[in-house]
Amino acid sequence: MEDLPHPDNKHLEAAEGWLGLGDHSSANEELNYISPKLRAHPLVLEIRYKIFAKAKRWEGAVEIARTLMEMLPDKSWGFIHYAFSLHELKRTREAYGVLIPVVDKFSEPTIRYNLACYSCQLGNAKEAMQWLEKAIDLAGKEDIRQLALDDPDLEPLWTKIGEI
């Protein structure tokens, strides 16, 4: 994927900077300075997704993520963002359905971790632990274990996770 040309690249960097400072409104304003023909560029859409997610505007986030997933089917982040947005909209079964077909396509611990969360929320504790173990195999025990012990989606498994 090619970078944005100048000065659009500077506006994208500024938007990222605003996001890093926790100011999603200013980040969104900065993206409005990007040339109209480049506002649908995947790098711009990724930042736009982060802005919507930060603002918890999940309906918009799900549409942006779906577009990213379709534009870049060989990148995992569109699928991850799309599924996560669906989950935040309480559409967890759909979120699960987004990731299952691509789980073997990407060696991405986040996909397996999110599948653990979605499985747990759908009442499938055994399957959730299996996905969590696969995420641990890819990312490392301590990183995933600590994340899981702080994740309310996995609360029904906290005792088992504590024993890992």
pLDDT tens digit string along 29-66? Answer: 999 999 999 999 999 999 999 999 999 999 999 999 99
Torsion angle defined by CA atoms of residues 124, 139, 164 and 134, in that order, rounded to the nearest 10 degrees: 40
Average pLDDT over residues 123-133: 97
Average pLDDT over residues 14-35: 96
Composition of the chain by helix, strand, coil, percent to 5: 75, 0, 25
Residue 140, sorted as left (phi over 0), alpha (psi -120 to 50) or beta, turns out to be left
pLDDT of residue 4: 94
Average pLDDT over residues 4-15: 97
pLDDT of residue 1: 74
Residue 91, classed as helix, strand or coil, is coil
